[in-house]
A and B are shown apart, each in its own frame.
Chain A
Amino acid sequence: MTEFRKHPPVSDWDNYVDFESTSWPKKDRRKYWIIPSICFNCESGCGVIAYVDKDTLDVRKIEGNPLHPGSRGRTCAKGVVTPNQLEDPDRILYPLRRVGKRGSGEWARVSWDEVLEDIGGRIRKAILEDRRREVMYHVGRPGEDGYVNRVLQAWGLDGHNSHTNVCSSSARLAHFLWTGADRPSPDYANAKTILLLSSHLESGHYFNPHAQRIIEGKTKGAKLIVMDPRMSNTSAKADVWMPTKPGTEGAILLAIGKYLIDSGKYNRDFVKRWVNWDTYLTTSRPDLPVTFDAFEIALKEEYAQFTPEYAESESGVPAHKILEAAEAIADAGTAFSTHSWRAAAAGHLWGWQITRALYFLVVLMGAVGEKGGVNLHVTNKFVPKHPNPPPAPDYWNELLFPKEFPLAFFEMSFLLPHFLKEGRGKLDVYFTRVYNPLWTNPDGFSWMEMLEDESKVGLHVALTPMWSETAWFADYVLPMGLGTERHDTMSQETHAGRWLGFRQPVRRVALEKRGTPVGATHEANPGQVWEESEFWIALSWKIDPDGSLGIRKFFESPYRAGKQITVDEYYGWMFENSVPGLPEAAKKEELTPLQYMRKYGVFKVDDVAYSKVHEQPVETGGVEIDGKRMTGFNTPSRKLEFFSPTLAEWGWPEHAIPRYVTGHVYWRDLNPAENEFDLLPNFRLPTLIHTRAPVKWLYEIAHSNPLWIASGDAAKLGIAIGDLVKVHTGIGFFITRAWVTEGIRPGVVAMSHHLGRWRLDEDQGGARNASALVRIARSDDGKYEMRQVHGTQPFKSDDADSARVWWTEIGVHQNLTFPVQPDPVSGMHCWHQRVRLEKAAPDDSYGDVMVDTAKSHALYLEWMAKTRPAPGPDGTRRPLWFDRPLKPVRAAYDFP
C-alpha cells in the first residue's frame, strides 16, 4: 500500500522537487525551497509553508504547515490565496505621497528616505514640544504580538488605537469580568456538548483551527448547539439550531442556567469553591446568611422568572428546544465548550451581558480549565518577552479612553471623528495600519470628513499592502509586506496547548539559503515594499538620531553596542531568551534558536494545557480555598465573579450579576406596520476577511452582500428575490438586492459584513476586481450621496485573469449608513440597526447610499448620554485591574 502524506516531509524542504502541474502529464520537474511562515489573512495565526521556486524565487503556492499545532497542516481558503495577493495587479509597490488636496487622488512616488525624514522629524518635533498625544497608531488586526506596542512605548506614547471596539469588546469584557482573562479557549475537540453564539464553522476568531476541532468533537459524538437568528453554515451543522429573536439570547441562557440550578445538575462543588457568591450575598442579599445554601436559594429567586416558557416568549425558540439544550449541557459535565466573540455580543446594547450569561453556564458546569471545557486564553496563548522593555507611558490619552467610558474594554476608536469634531484634541501624525476605518467602522463619512480636515489630522500615514478607502485619504501610502514578506511572532489560544509562530519573508530566507546576503527585507520584496518591523526601527532612529531623546537605545542591537538592531537580532534575542524550551530544542539539532524558527516556522511550547492554573498552589497572594492557598483567577477577588463589585462600584450596580437586558433593537419595539426590521449587519463569510484580501479567487466565490429577508416578510412587502430594496437607518439609507430565504428569522434582515468595497478613481485606489467605481456628492450641511458608476468590470493587466472577471455587482457599503452606537459600559459599537424597509423607487439604483452626518453626530450625542463617566470609587479613570494596551503608569489614572 502506498502511504500518502499530506505534505512533503521536512527533510525534503530544502530541496523539494515537484512536478509542474500546469504542464502535466509531462513530467517537468521544478525545484523548491519550502519555507514556513504564518498566514496574515486573519488573526488565527495558522502555519503555512511557501513553495519558493529556486529559479525564479516566486512563491508558487501556499499550503498548511504540518508542524503547526494550531492549524495542523490545514488552511482555509483565505490562506491559500496569498500568491493572489503577491501578484495582485492593484497592489502598491512603491511609497506614494499625495500631491493635490488630501483625497483628490493625485499621487507621486517618493523615496523611503524622504518618508522616514519627514515622518521621523515630525514625530520628533511633537515629542520635543510635548505634543505626544497628537501621535497615534491605529491598527486593524495586528497579526503580531507586542512589537508595535513596544515601539510606541519606547516613544513614550499612550498612542495605541485599535479596531477592537467594532469587533469583540463586549465579549471580551464579559469574559474579563468573570475570569480576569478576556478570551475563552474552548477545548472543542474533547467536548461532549458545544454551545456556540459565534459562527466558528465559517468565520469565528480562529476559524480554521476551531472549525477543525468543532467537527472533530462532533465526529466523536459531541452535540452542537448554535444560537443564531440566521442560518449560518455553523447553524447548518448544528444538532440544535436556536434561531433567536436577536438580543434575547440571554433569556435562553439564563433559562438553561435556571434548569441546571433547579435540577441540581450543576457543579455545586466547583461553584461553591470558585465563585464569589459571598460577595453577592453580602452586597445584594443582606437578608440571607452568608452560606452556600442561602446562595442557592438566592440564585433560584434571582432567576425564577426564567422558565423555558418565558424564554420561549422572549426568544421565539420553543421551550422544548431550550430544554433539549439544557439537558445536553447537563449531560456534558465539565466537557462543555462554548464560545461567543462577535455575533450577539457585538450586536446589541448590553451585549456583554449575553456573553456573561453564557459564561455563567460554563461556571455552573465547572468546565473552567477542564478537558473538553473552556480554558482561559492566558493558559493557551504564549507571548514571549521582547528585548529591552521600555517603561509605561506617563500620561493618559483621552482620545483613546475618554472619561465617559471608564470600563471600555478597548480604545473608543470608532468615535474618533466625533471626538475631534467636539474639539477634544487633534492629531499631528496619524498612522493607520492594515486598518480601513472609513469602510469598516460605522459612520464612514464622518471619518472621511475627519481625514480630509488638515486642521484635525496633520499627517495621515497609511501602512498597507494594498489600496483601501482610507488610504485614499492619506498623505503617505506606504506599502508593507504581505504574509510571506515580513517578520512577526504570533500565538493564539487555538486549542488546549501553546505555540509560538514565526512569520518570515520567504524570498529573503530563500536568498539567504542561496548565499545572497540580504541587509533588509525590502531588498528581497517586490518593488519597494518594506516590512513594518524594519520600518519602525528605521523610523525610531530618525526620531532620535543621536539618542538624546532616550528612544534610540530601545532600537539598538543587544549584541553590537550602539548599532541599529536588525530583525535577525530582534527575533533572535526573543527566541534565545524568552521562549522556554526553544534554545534546548534548537541545540539538539545544532541550530541557533533563530535558525530553528526559520526552519520550522513554529515552536510548540506545551502540549496539553488543562493546567487549571487557578488551582495551582502559591505561597503568598492568590486565594484561600478550603484551607489551601491557590493562584485563583485574575479578578480582584481571585475568584470567578458572578457578582462584579467593579460594575457595582463604577456606576452599574443594576448590572452587577448576569442579567437579561433587552438591547437597543428589541423586537417588541419594532413596528411591523411601518415595516421596521432588526438588521443584523455583522455576519461573515468563510472566504473573506473584512477588507484584507480582495483577490480574484476569493471574489469569484463571494462578491456581493444581498439583504437576507424571510420569505413571509418579503411577500408582505411585495419583494421578490433580486428586487432592489431601500433600507432606511437612523442617519440615511442604502439600496441593495433582496435574498429571500427561509434561513432567517422573520422580522430580522441580515447582510454580510464584508462586501461593498469602492474606489473613487477608475484605475487606482482599490482592487479593480473587488470594488465599484463610485461618485460621492456632498452638500454644505453634511449630507452625502454615493452612487455606483459601475461595478466590477474586466480589465487588462499582466494577469490574464483580470480580463476574465465576470462578476459585476460587488456589494453595498451598508456601514456608511450606521450611526455610532457605543455600549456605555464595554464601549463596543452595537452593530444591529433598527431599519425601515421599502421597495426601491424607479430612480434608486443598486449601491446608492445617502447619509446625513449632522444626524449621525446628534445620535452620537444621544448615545453618549447613556454613559456614566469616571471617576470611579477611588477617583481614577479606570479600574486598575482592567487590562488595556500600553497601560500607563499609576499616576496617569488620576485626574489632574
Chain B
Amino acid sequence: MPNYGFVIDLKKCIGCHACTIACKAEHDIPVGVNRCWVKTVEKGRFPDAQRLFLPVLCNQCADAPCMKICPTSALFRRHDGIVDLHGDSCIGCKACMAACPYDQLFIDPNTRTAEKCNFCANRVENHLEPACVSVCPTECRIFGDMDDPTTEVAQIVQREAFTVRKPEKGTGPKVFYLSADDSIIQPEIASRPFMFKEGGVHLRPLGSKEPDPQSPGDPRVDYDVPHKKAWGIDLVLYLLTKGISTGALFLGAILWLMGDRSALSGLAAPLVASIFSTLTAAVLVMDLERPERFYYILIRPNWNSWMARGAFILTAHGAVGGLWVLAWLLDAPTLITGLAVLTLPIALAATGYTGLLFAQGLARDLWQGPHATIDLIAQAAMEGAAALLIAALFTNVDPWVLRTLGWTLAGATSLHLLILISENLLAPSPTLHHELAVRAIRHGAYARLFWVGALGLGGLAPLALFAVAATTGFSMTILIPMAVVTLAGSLAWEYIWVEAGQCVPIS
C-alpha cells in the first residue's frame, strides 16, 4: 500500500500563488475558502530584511485528529494514507475544524459540508500529480510514496533535514518542508497586521500578536487567507443550557436521595433538565451546517468521537429527565428514586464529556488539560443550583434545601474561581499558542468580559452574596440575585472559553 506525502523545498518557492489558484480550479473552490495557499512573512531590518513563503496544504496526518473527532466518520483514510471526506455523510458540525491543528478544514459554502485538501485523490487515482504540483513553475513541490525508497520524496525525507508543522501535536504530518524558518512555520510567532501589503485582512484571529511599531524588524505576516473559526455563539449557548440541564438534574437527584420530596426535586429539577436538554439539542442542531442531517450522528456514529459519544450520553440524559417528570406525574416515588440513582452517573457523564470533546479539538491549546472537565462539572453545579434556586420561587421548599443549594453554589463557584485564577492568572502557559489565548483573556479582546463577567459576576459576586446569606440567613431575596449573577458570569466564561480558545492563529 502506498503512503503518500509531499516535500516542499522552500528555497525554490517564489510565492506566486499558482498552486492556490490551480487548487481552486481543480476543485472549484468558492471565494473565501482555500484548500491550499501560500502564507508570506516579512522579517528583519533593512537592508537585511527577508520575505519568506510557506505553501500550506493538508498534512494527511498519520494520526488524524479530524478523523478522530468526526462524529459520522465522514472523514476517512484511504488505502494510500490520504485522509478523504465523504461529503454525503458530513453534517457540518465543524468539529474537524476545531480538531485540525493546521487550519486545513473549512465549510464549503456551496455544499455546506466540510472540505479539505485530499492530495487531489481524484487525480492520484488517474496517476496524475496533484494540481498544485503539476502547476508549480519552480517545481518546489514533490509528491510521492514515502514508503517506497525509490521515490524522490522518500529519499529526501531520508537524507535531508526537514521540518513539519507543529510536530508537538503528535499527528504524524506528511508534508515535509525543506529550509523552513521558525517565524513562518510556527503560526504564533509572527505578528498580524490589520491589512496586508496587497489587500485587506478578513477574519483576523483576534488573539494574533499585533505588530509593535517600536520593533519594526519583528516577523510579520504580510499575506494570509481568511481564517474562519469552527464554533461560535451556538456552542456557548450549548455549554450554558447543558450545564443547567445536567446540574439541575444531578442536584435534584441528590436532594431527592437526601429525602426531599418537594416539587422542587420531584418535578422542577427534571422539568428544568428536560427543557434545557431540549434547548441543548436545539442549539446543537442549529449549529450544524446541515441540520437536516442531525440524525446521522445516531445512525452512523464514529465511536472514537466524543461528539458522537456525547450525543448518546445526552440522549440518555434527556430520557432520564423525561421519565422522571413522567414518574412524578404518575406519582411513582420509588421509580423516581431509581431514576435519581441512575441520574448520578449519567448527568455526570453528560457534564464531563464536553471536556473530552473540547480536548479532541486538538487545534486549541486552551482546551487541553483535565482542569477543563473539572471546571465543567463545577460550572454545571453552579448553573444547576442557580436554576433550582430560581425554580424554588415557584415551589414550597424546606429551608435546608435552600441552604444546601446555597452551599453547593458557593462551593462550586469557589472551585470554578480557583480554576479560572490558576489557569488564567497563575499557571505558566505550556505553549506559545496557549499564552496568546490567555493574553487575549487577560489583557486582550476578552479582558473586560473576563474580569467583570467571569471573575466578577461569575465568582466574586455570588461568593459575596453567599457570605451575606450565610450570616443573615438563606432568604430568597439574596439567593435569587446570587443565582442570576452566577448564570450571567457563567455565560461570560463560556463565551470566553469558546471564543478565546479559537482566537489564536493556527496556520
Q: Which residues of A contact B232 (CB under 8 A)?
A: none
Please measure, in the bound complex, the distance between the C-alpha atom of A22 and the C-alpha atom of B26, giving whole angstroms. 9
Is A806 part of the binding interface, using a Cβ–Cβ cutoff of 8 Å? yes
Q: Are A710 and B151 in contact (CB under 8 A)?
A: no
Q: Which of A21-67 contact B (CB under 8 A)?
A: 21-26, 61-64
For A80, A211, A212, A687, the residue with the greatest tally of chain B CB atoms inside 10 Å of its CB is A80
Please measure, in the bound complex, the distance between the C-alpha atom of A739 and the C-alpha atom of B44, giving whole angstroms. 16
For A22, A64, A73, A702, the residue with the greatest tally of chain B CB atoms inside 10 Å of its CB is A22
Distance (whole angstroms) from the CB of B184 to the closest CB of chain A? 12
Which of A386-394, A585-593, A619-627, A740-748 faces chain B?
A740-748
Is B292 part of the binding interface, using a Cβ–Cβ cutoff of 8 Å? no
Q: Are B51 and A702 in contact (CB under 8 A)?
A: no
How many chain A residues sit at the interface, stated as a range, is: 35 or more
Is B167 part of the binding interface, using a Cβ–Cβ cutoff of 8 Å? no
Q: Which residues of A contact B193 (CB under 8 A)?
A: 721-722
Is A674 part of the binding interface, using a Cβ–Cβ cutoff of 8 Å? no
Distance (whole angstroms) from the CB of B34 to the closest CB of chain A? 9
User: Which residue of B has the minimal Cβ distance to A316?
Assistant: B47
Q: Are A25 and B18 in contact (CB under 8 A)?
A: no
Query: A19-B126, A208-B137, A743-B51 known; A25 and B86 CB under 8 Å?
Result: yes
Is B399 part of the binding interface, using a Cβ–Cβ cutoff of 8 Å? no
User: Among B12, B17, B109, which residue has its beta carbon within 8 angstroms of that of A219?
Assistant: B12
Which of A5-13, A130-138, A861-869 faces chain B?
A5-13
Q: Are A739 and B195 in contact (CB under 8 A)?
A: yes
User: Which residue of B has the minimal Cβ distance to A17?
Assistant: B126
User: Which residue of A has the minimal Cβ distance to B24?
Assistant: A697
Please measure, in the bound complex, the distance between the C-alpha atom of A237 and the C-alpha atom of B179, giving whole angstroms. 13
User: Which residue of B has the minimal Cβ distance to A71?
Assistant: B137
Q: Are B134 and A6 in contact (CB under 8 A)?
A: yes
Is B14 part of the binding interface, using a Cβ–Cβ cutoff of 8 Å? yes
Q: Are A77 and B21 in contact (CB under 8 A)?
A: yes
Is B431 part of the binding interface, using a Cβ–Cβ cutoff of 8 Å? no
Q: Are A236 and B151 in contact (CB under 8 A)?
A: no
Is B127 part of the binding interface, using a Cβ–Cβ cutoff of 8 Å? yes
Q: Mark B185-228, 1 if CB is under 8 A from A, else 0.
A: 00000000111011110100000000101001100001100100
Q: Are B200 and A809 in contact (CB under 8 A)?
A: yes
Is B122 part of the binding interface, using a Cβ–Cβ cutoff of 8 Å? yes
The 5 closest A-B pairs by CB, nearest first: A711-B216, A236-B51, A702-B198, A215-B138, A19-B122
Q: Are B109 and A806 in contact (CB under 8 A)?
A: no
Q: Which residues of A contact B11 (CB under 8 A)?
A: 219
Binding site for A on B (CB under 8 A): 2, 11-12, 14-18, 20-22, 24-28, 30-32, 42, 44-47, 49-53, 84-88, 109-110, 118, 120-122, 124-129, 131, 133-140, 143-145, 148, 150-151, 193-195, 197-200, 202, 211, 213, 216-217, 222-223, 226
For B20, B21, B45, B87, the residue with the greatest tally of chain A CB atoms inside 10 Å of its CB is B21
Please measure, in the bound complex, the distance between the C-alpha atom of A384 and the C-alpha atom of B14, giving whole angstroms. 34
Is A146 part of the binding interface, using a Cβ–Cβ cutoff of 8 Å? no
User: Which residue of A has the minimal Cβ distance to B28?
Assistant: A22
Is A685 part of the binding interface, using a Cβ–Cβ cutoff of 8 Å? yes
Q: Which residues of A contact B217 (CB under 8 A)?
A: 742
Is A241 part of the binding interface, using a Cβ–Cβ cutoff of 8 Å? yes
Please measure, in the bound complex, the distance between the C-alpha atom of A711 and the C-alpha atom of B211, giving whole angstroms. 12
Query: A19-B122, A63-B135, A745-B46 known; A806 and B202 CB under 8 Å?
Result: yes
Which of A340-348, A403-411, A797-805 faces chain B?
A797-805
Q: Mark A162-205, 1 if CB is under 8 A from B, else 0.
A: 00000000000000000000000000000000000000011000
Q: Which residues of B contact A742 (CB under 8 A)?
A: 42, 44-46, 49, 216-217
Query: A75-B18, A80-B25, A722-B193 known; A4 and B46 CB under 8 Å?
Result: no
Q: Which of A843-889 contact B (CB under 8 A)?
A: none
Distance (whole angstroms) from the CB of B413 to the closest CB of chain A? 42
Distance (whole angstroms) from the CB of B23 to the closest CB of chain A? 9
For B124, B136, B195, B226, the residue with the greatest tally of chain A CB atoms inside 10 Å of its CB is B195
Q: Mark A780-824, 1 if CB is under 8 A from B, else 0.
A: 000000000000000000001100111111000000000000000
Q: Which residues of B contact A1 (CB under 8 A)?
A: 145, 148, 150-151
Q: Which of A690-746 contact B (CB under 8 A)?
A: 696-698, 700-706, 708, 710-712, 715, 720-722, 737, 739-746
Is A480 part of the binding interface, using a Cβ–Cβ cutoff of 8 Å? no
Q: Are A804 and B197 in contact (CB under 8 A)?
A: no
Q: Are B134 and A73 in contact (CB under 8 A)?
A: yes
Contacts A77-B21, A721-B211, A744-B46 known; list 5 others, CB within 8 Å: A19-B122, A243-B46, A701-B198, A706-B197, A715-B213
Q: Are B135 and A74 in contact (CB under 8 A)?
A: yes
Q: Can you list 7 A-B pairs, Cβ within 8 angstroms, ordered by A?
A: A2-B145, A4-B127, A25-B121, A74-B139, A83-B25, A742-B46, A800-B30
Q: Are B25 and A233 in contact (CB under 8 A)?
A: no
Please measure, in the bound complex, the distance between the C-alpha atom of A64 and the C-alpha atom of B137, giving whole angstroms. 10
Q: Are B42 and A743 in contact (CB under 8 A)?
A: yes
Q: Which of A197-238 contact B (CB under 8 A)?
A: 201-202, 207-208, 211-212, 215-216, 219, 231, 233-237
Is A76 part of the binding interface, using a Cβ–Cβ cutoff of 8 Å? yes
Query: A76-B137, A704-B198 known; A8 and B128 CB under 8 Å?
Result: yes
Q: Are B194 and A212 in contact (CB under 8 A)?
A: no
Is A763 part of the binding interface, using a Cβ–Cβ cutoff of 8 Å? no
For A73, A234, A237, A740, the residue with the greatest tally of chain B CB atoms inside 10 Å of its CB is A237
Please measure, in the bound complex, the distance between the C-alpha atom of A448 and the C-alpha atom of B110, giving whole angstroms. 42
User: Among A3, A233, A809, which residue has its beta carbon within 8 angstroms of that of B51?
Assistant: A233
Binding site for B on A (CB under 8 A): 1-8, 18-26, 61-64, 73-77, 80-81, 83, 201-202, 207-208, 211-212, 215-216, 219, 231, 233-237, 241, 243, 685-687, 696-698, 700-706, 708, 710-712, 715, 720-722, 737, 739-746, 752, 800-801, 804-809
Distance (whole angstroms) from the CB of A768 to the closest CB of chain B? 13
Q: Which residues of A contact B135 (CB under 8 A)?
A: 63-64, 74-75, 80
Q: Which residues of A contact B47 (CB under 8 A)?
A: 241, 243, 745
Q: Are A2 and B211 in contact (CB under 8 A)?
A: no
Q: Which residues of A contact B216 (CB under 8 A)?
A: 711-712, 740, 742
Q: Are B129 and A211 in contact (CB under 8 A)?
A: no
Distance (whole angstroms) from the CB of A214 to the closest CB of chain B? 8
Distance (whole angstroms) from the CB of A267 to the closest CB of chain B? 31
Q: Are B200 and A807 in contact (CB under 8 A)?
A: yes
User: Among A25, A741, A805, which residue has its beta carbon within 8 angstroms of that of B197?
Assistant: A741
Query: A5-B128, A6-B128, A710-B46 known; A61 and B195 CB under 8 Å?
Result: no
Q: Are A704 and B2 in contact (CB under 8 A)?
A: no
Please measure, in the bound complex, the distance between the C-alpha atom of A234 and the C-alpha atom of B13, giving whole angstroms. 11
Q: Which residues of B contact A201 (CB under 8 A)?
A: 14, 16
Query: A64-B134, A804-B30 known; A215 and B14 CB under 8 Å?
Result: yes
Please measure, in the bound complex, the distance between the C-alpha atom of A525 and the C-alpha atom of B274, giving whole angstroms. 63
User: Among B14, B22, B28, which residue has its beta carbon within 8 angstroms of that of A237?
Assistant: B14
Please measure, in the bound complex, the distance between the C-alpha atom of A298 and the C-alpha atom of B30, giving whole angstroms. 65
User: Among B25, B30, B195, which residue has its beta carbon within 8 angstroms of that of A801?
Assistant: B30
Distance (whole angstroms) from the CB of A260 to the closest CB of chain B? 24
Q: Are B109 and A233 in contact (CB under 8 A)?
A: no
Q: Are A24 and B122 in contact (CB under 8 A)?
A: yes
Please measure, in the bound complex, the distance between the C-alpha atom of A805 and the C-alpha atom of B86, giving whole angstroms. 28
Distance (whole angstroms) from the CB of B20 to the closest CB of chain A? 7
Q: Which residues of B contact A804 (CB under 8 A)?
A: 30-32, 109
Please measure, in the bound complex, the distance between the C-alpha atom of A241 and the C-alpha atom of B44, giving whole angstroms. 14
Distance (whole angstroms) from the CB of B76 to the closest CB of chain A? 9
Q: Which residues of A contact B133 (CB under 8 A)?
A: 6
Distance (whole angstroms) from the CB of A773 to the closest CB of chain B? 17
Distance (whole angstroms) from the CB of B180 to the closest CB of chain A? 15
Q: Which residues of B contact A63 (CB under 8 A)?
A: 22, 131, 134-135
Please measure, in the bound complex, the distance between the C-alpha atom of A744 and the C-alpha atom of B16, giving whole angstroms. 20
Q: Are A6 and B122 in contact (CB under 8 A)?
A: no
Q: Which residues of B contact A73 (CB under 8 A)?
A: 134
User: Which residue of A has the minimal Cβ distance to B14?
Assistant: A201
Please measure, in the bound complex, the distance between the C-alpha atom of A3 and the C-alpha atom of B21, giving whole angstroms. 25
Q: Which residues of B contact A2 (CB under 8 A)?
A: 2, 127, 145
